[in-house]
Amino acid sequence: MSTAHPFEHLTPSFIQDAIESLGYLCDGRVFGLNSYENRVYQVGIDDSEPLIAKFYRPARWSREQILEEHQFCFELLEQELPVVAPLKRDGVSLFDYEGFMFALFPRKGGHAPELDNMDNLFTLGRMLGRIHTIGASRPFIHRPAIDIASYGHQSAQLISEQFIPAELKTSYDTLTADLLKLMENHWQLCEPINHIRVHGDCHIGNMLWRDNAPHFVDFDDARMAPAIQDIWMLLSGERESQQAQLLEIIEGYREFCDFNPAQLRLTETLRTLRIMNYAAWVARRWEDPAFPHNFPWFNTVRYWSEHILELREQLFALQEPSLQLYN
């Protein structure tokens, strides 16, 4: 007999009851937003602007880890940085309702930034420099770091033992062993690596461009990591294009924060770890009904064949010279 997934309890009436437990009056409008790890909704409020309600996935983060995310956002907001931080109610930002932890956010509009615009990249660099200056001021105590052990070794082990098709297992195991060894070498060459608090998932879907500036949202994946983690995801295209983009970003970044060029060696390592961790993330969530529904292509022979091909491309990328900064 199947057991209902916890998120199946999040009916419109449940969501409104949770929000009204804080003293708000909902108007009956509840719209699900694009989110898989947690569940996020736009909820209409009587005689006021709608709110964004984020219900955290049970057992993913501890209360202390979520509150560290919130505190980081509040620190950034206090320095007038454009982040969408949780709302407080009587000084509290994390609430409980019938087994769920949830937070409320103001609704903010905007569009994804145009990363082929060099002026936009310069602005993003300046903003990241300011964020990282604050991020470097003190560490996370409860939140983990981005590292090869959790993103690489644990991901490969899960996929190899439970998901990879038998006919692809040897190829996958051999390839990931080579990748992990090469990434560990890259990591050691960059030691000591200064880990700071970073956004952690700094892609264009987590930035709203409005008023000629980016507004950073969704710090759910904030971790301790090298600064380059929030920079490499802004780079795209061929090497020549990425080189030009990087120079523009770092020029803006260095107006507020130092950047160690040695971290550029970690770009392809971090990209590879993200690819491996993404596959393992979907695998770990496969019992959530939303995942088979929204990722129907996952866990097929074709998917794993393409995944192996992508990792082989990363093996070559890891052996190429890293991007450079020219002073």
Tell whether 133 and 74 lie within a shared domain: no
pLDDT score for 5: 87
CB of 42 within 8 A of CB of 55? no
pLDDT score for 1: 40
Tell whether 177 and 90 lie within a shared domain: no
What length does the chain have?
Answer: 327
SS (H, E, C) 214-252: EEECCCCCCEEECCCHHHHCCCCCCHHHHHHHHHHHHHH
Place of tokens 């980081």: 72
Q: What are the structure tokens assigned to 303, written together?
A: 């998917």
CATH number for the domain harbouring residue 101: 3.30.200.70
The rounded distance, in Å, linking the Cα atoms of 19 and 41 is 11
Tell whether 202 and 273 lie within a shared domain: yes
The rounded distance, in Å, linking the Cα atoms of 60 and 54 is 14
For the chain, how many structural domains are there in total?
A: 2
Q: Which of helix, strand or coil describes residue 145?
A: strand
Tell whether 277 and 140 lie within a shared domain: yes
Tell whether 308 and 198 lie within a shared domain: yes
Concerning whether 47 is annotated as a catalytic residue, the answer is: no
pLDDT score for 120: 93
CB of 248 within 8 A of CB of 113? no
Identify whether 272 is part of a domain.
yes
pLDDT score for 118: 94
Within 10 angstroms of residue 6's Cβ, the number of other Cβ atoms is 15
How distant is the alpha carbon of residue 285 from its chain centre?
16
Tell whether 34 and 133 lie within a shared domain: no
What separation, in Å, do the N-terminal and C-terminal C-alpha atoms of the chain show? Answer: 65
Identify whether 112 is part of a domain.
no
CATH number for the domain harbouring residue 134: 1.10.510.10
Q: Within 13 Å, how many C-alpha atoms sit on residue 259's CB side?
A: 30
Q: Cα angle vertex 232, ends 52, 230, to 5°?
A: 40
The rounded distance, in Å, linking the Cα atoms of 279 and 121 is 29
Q: Characterise 147 by phi-psi region: left (phi > 0), alpha (psi -120 to 50), beta (else).
A: beta
Identify whether 13 is part of a domain.
yes
The rounded distance, in Å, linking the Cα atoms of 198 and 223 is 6
Domain of residue 122: give its range.
118-319
- Whether 206 has a binding-site annotation, put simply, is yes
- Whether 173 has a binding-site annotation, put simply, is no
Identify whether 324 is part of a domain.
no
Identify whether 327 is part of a domain.
no
The rounded distance, in Å, linking the Cα atoms of 280 and 176 is 13
Cα–Cα nearest to 68, from 51, 54, 84, 86? 86
Tell whether 56 and 178 lie within a shared domain: no
Tell whether 211 and 313 lie within a shared domain: yes
The rounded distance, in Å, linking the Cα atoms of 257 and 212 is 22
Strands 223-225 and 196-198: antiparallel
Residue-level pLDDT, tens digit, the chain, 327 residues = 456 789 999 999 999 999 999 999 999 999 999 889 999 999 999 999 999 999 999 999 999 999 999 999 999 999 999 999 999 999 999 999 999 999 999 998 888 888 889 999 999 999 999 999 999 999 999 999 999 999 999 999 999 999 999 999 999 999 999 999 999 999 999 989 999 999 999 998 899 998 888 899 999 999 999 999 999 999 999 999 999 999 999 999 999 999 999 999 999 999 999 999 999 999 999 999 999 999 999 999 999 999 999 999 999 999 999 999 875
Concerning whether 201 is annotated as a catalytic residue, the answer is: yes
Q: Within 13 Å, how many C-alpha atoms sit on residue 75's CB side?
A: 20
Read off the pTM.
Answer: 0.94
> Which of residues 79, 106, 133 is at a domain's end?
106
The rounded distance, in Å, linking the Cα atoms of 129 and 256 is 5
The rounded distance, in Å, linking the Cα atoms of 228 and 141 is 21
Catalytic residue among 27, 201, 211, 221: 201
The rounded distance, in Å, linking the Cα atoms of 230 and 232 is 6
Identify whether 113 is part of a domain.
no
Tell whether 93 and 177 lie within a shared domain: no
pLDDT score for 327: 52
pLDDT score for 112: 86
Cis peptide before 226 (omega within 30 of 0): no
The rounded distance, in Å, linking the Cα atoms of 241 and 249 is 12
Catalytic residue among 96, 147, 218, 221: 218
Tell whether 300 and 170 lie within a shared domain: yes
